[in-house]
Every structure is written in structure tokens, then in C-alpha cells.
Amino acid sequence: MDVLLEARDLKKHFGPLRAVDGISLSVKKGEVLGFLGPNGAGKTTTMKMLTGFLAPSAGSAIVCGETVTAGNAAARRRIGYLPEGAPLYGDMTPAGFLAFIAAAHGIEGAAAEKAVRDAAGAVQLEKVMEQRIETLSKGFKRRVGLAAAILHAPDVLILDEPTDGLDPNQKHEVRRLIGAMSAERAIIISTHILEEVEALCSRAVIINAGRIVADGTPSALKARSIYVGAVTMLVPSADADAVADAARALEGVAGVETAGEGDRTRLTILAKPAAQIADAVGDLVAKHGWHVSQFSVDGGRLDDVFRSVTTGKAA
């Protein structure tokens, strides 16, 4: 696969603050990279450097072989950027705004009309093209921002919290649009929503204090969770202590967490690294005849991995 976007040891210092402190990554065509990190980790600052809106203190961003700088129009033409919050010109209509964006990219005449039509069609904006942007719902405002980002058919899309503030239906729709746009592009999205990463991203990079602390596919990251291979089940609360004690005695069990749910208790039986405990737990339940429901084996949890790599604490 072709690498379309590369960050090479990017750094940005604001006075003494090392907001971005040596980020290197590459994104290939067809990849959707989730860019995660706690508030203030340096996500937006990194994205602004990748798009040429902010000059790095050191390092460089390369798009389709071109070094990104404010003055390198060839590089910036290859990039579409949806800034955080997507500030738009509220008193313009989507039609007027997108025509303005086309002109800013030097696209004119019939080509501009086609570019606006195609971008609006891709995000299904047709019905609101003549309505003032400030009167649109958040979801439609975000679509206007996305249409503006893709209008010049960029190879690389950089989307800063594209679903922030949207309702669940709009989130679903925007994720679908991003997924549909991903085949021919390299996409980076920053997000605080971990389910979004699982639903949309082929890879995730977690940053903390300006540095990369984890990089892998969502399933590889989840495999680092203390919950990977854990068995979760509901048992009658009267049996919970007996089940927990028996489970703790099994080989391969690292510990048991309990949480009351009415007259039943949810037990999470944690596995030691690489241990397979589901069969042994199942045998134990059968042997004692406990009434167990919702028996499942955990694939690992991103929130727990996020917490441990960004705070150093396990869940």
C-alpha cells in the first residue's frame, strides 16, 4: 500500500511547553487512523502541523512526497482538513460557501460547479444548499465542513473530532461517510470516542503529553487490556461469593471483579496473560450447577488500555 501521509519527528514548542514532542507516523491509502489522547495531549497541534496551518518547531510532514508548509500549494492541494468545531461562515449558504472554497483552491467555471456538486452529493447536502449555514442543524453544519474538506478531491483527509457534538444518528451517518471515503484516501481522525475507533479505524495511535504511547490495530491494542480473555457472567447474588472463590482457585485466573445488578451479581474473572480460562470456568459452573446467564469472553477493552498508557495506571 502507498504511504500518503508521513510525520517525521514532528515537534511544536510553545515557550517551555512541549505540546508535540517528536511524533512520527505514516498513513497508507485505505487506512483510517484514529488519533487518540487525553485533553491537551497535542492532537490538534499535530493535525495543524500535518495540514500546514502551523509551522513545526522541528521535524516535517510529508504528503504524497511533498513537504507540507504554508507556502507549498502542491502539498496543501493534496490535503483536506476539517478543523475542530468546523467554524463556518454562518451567513453564507452551503452553495455559496462551497463555491468560495472552490475558488480558494483555484477551481473555476464548470469545474468549480462540478466540484461543488460532487462534494455536496457525497455528504448528501443537496436539500439545504440554499439555506443559511447558521440555520442548519449541527449534523448538517458538519456535513458542510466535510464537503469543504473533500471538495478538491484530496488524497489525505485530516478530520479533527468529526462527530463531536452530534446526536447518535448523525454520528452514525458521519462515520458511514468517512468509511465510504476511505478506500481511495488516507484519513486521520482525532476522537475521544473509543467505540468510534473500533467502528471506523484500521489503526489507532494514542498520544500523551506530545508523544506516541501506543500504535496498533484496535484489536492489537485491545489485546493489551487486562480484560482480554476475561470471562464475564451473571450469577444469583446468593452464589456470587462461592463462584468467585472457586474461580480464584483455578489455574490461569488472575483475579475476580464483582458488581451487583439487583438480585444478581456480574462476575468478571480475569485471565493471567495468555491463559485460556473460559473452558475451566464453564466446567466449574456445570459441576456446581450454578444458574449462570450472559456468559461471555472479553476481547479486551480499549478504554482500559487508553487509561493505562496515558496515566500509567491499570483499570
Ligand X SMILES: Nc1ncnc2c1ncn2[C@@H]1O[C@H](COP(=O)(O)OP(=O)(O)OP(=O)(O)O)[C@@H](O)[C@H]1O
- Which of 190, 222, 210, 178 has the alpha carbon at shortest distance from 36? 190
Q: Which is nearer to ligand X, 34 or 300 (CB)?
A: 34
Q: Which is nearer to ligand X, 36 or 174 (CB)?
A: 36
**Of positions 23, 29, 37, 79, contacts ligand X by CB under 6 A:** 37
**Of positions 5, 7, 27, 43, contacts ligand X by CB under 6 A:** 43
* 188-210 burial code (b ≥16 CB/10 A, e <16): bbbbebbebbbbbbbbbbbbbbb
Q: How far is CA 214 from CA 34, 153, 310, in A?
A: 11, 31, 9
**Position 44 contacts ligand X (CB under 6 A):** yes
Please state, as a whole number, how many other Cβ atoms lie within 10 Å of the Cβ of residue 156.
Answer: 23
d(CA 160, CA 200): 14
Q: Which is nearer to ligand X, 19 or 123 (CB)?
A: 19
d(CA 282, CA 91): 63
Chain position carrying cell 443537496: 126
Residue 15 CB, nearest approach to ligand X (Å): 7
Q: Which is nearer to ligand X, 55 or 111 (CB)?
A: 55
Residue 149 CB, nearest approach to ligand X (Å): 18
Q: How many residues bind ligand X (CB under 6 A)?
A: 11
Segment interacting with ligand X, rule: CB under 6 A, options 36-44, 136-144, 177-185, 271-279: 36-44
Judged by DSSP in three states, 87 sits in coil
d(CA 145, CA 107): 18
Q: How many helices (H) and strands (E) does the chain have?
A: 11, 14
**Of positions 4, 5, 10, 19, contacts ligand X by CB under 6 A:** 19
- Sign of dihedral through CA atoms 28, 32, 34, 35? positive
Q: Which is nearer to ligand X, 45 or 265 (CB)?
A: 45
d(CA 184, CA 181): 7
**Of positions 42, 145, 162, 300, contacts ligand X by CB under 6 A:** 42
Q: Which is nearer to ligand X, 132 or 192 (CB)?
A: 192
**Position 189 contacts ligand X (CB under 6 A):** no
Q: Which is nearer to ligand X, 182 or 190 (CB)?
A: 190
**Position 218 contacts ligand X (CB under 6 A):** no
**Position 14 contacts ligand X (CB under 6 A):** yes
Judged by DSSP in three states, 149 sits in helix
**Of positions 33, 45, 218, 231, contacts ligand X by CB under 6 A:** 45
Q: Which is nearer to ligand X, 39 or 169 (CB)?
A: 39
Segment interacting with ligand X, rule: CB under 6 A, options 23-31, 42-50, 71-79, 193-201: 42-50
Please state, as a whole number, how many other Cβ atoms lie within 10 Å of the Cβ of residue 254.
Answer: 15
Which stretches of the chain bind ligand X, using CB under 6 A?
Answer: 14, 17, 19, 37, 39-45
